[in-house]
Amino acid sequence: MAKTDSPPETRPTFEAAVLRQQGVTFAVVVVSSSVLERKIVAGRTREKLKRLFRDMPIVLMAQKPGGTPTYYGRRDLVKFLSKVGLKDIPFKEYTITPPGE
């Protein structure tokens, strides 16, 4: 018999923003710097995130120790983001919901 007073299951969350620039809608997803240090991991992460963001282009963003952002993704989108201040990117928290819920 299951305990009725057990805490609710916590679901994974992450920070991301959906932006539109010159007719392109894309997602910027915050990741740890270790993801960007390994290009294979970064590429796989972007592929997995495409399912959550309906196949839109994904740009990964990590912050260096001083807070400076580093981006990985399509060159045109990375170039655009390099000119945008972090405070101007509308990040919000997303929760990953398992399939079937």
CATH number at residue 64: 3.30.300
CA-based angle 32:20:80, to the nearest 5? 60
Its pTM stands at 0.83
Residue 66 lies in a domain: yes
Q: How many domains are contained in the chain?
A: 1
Q: How many residues does the chain have?
A: 101
Residue 62 and residue 69 in contact, taking contact as beta carbons nearer than 8 Å: yes
Tens of pLDDT, residue by residue over 3-55, are 555 455 677 889 999 999 989 999 999 999 999 999 999 999 999 898 889 87
Tens of pLDDT, residue by residue over 53-69, are 987 999 999 998 888 99
pLDDT value for 1 = 45
**Cα atoms found within 13 Å of the Cα of residue 73, Cβ hemisphere only:** 27
| Intra-chain end-to-end CA distance of the chain, in Å | 23
Residue 31 lies in a domain: yes
Distance, CA of 48 to CA of 55 (rounded, Å) = 10
Distance, CA of 35 to CA of 43 (rounded, Å) = 9
Segments forming the whole domain that contains residue 51: 13-94
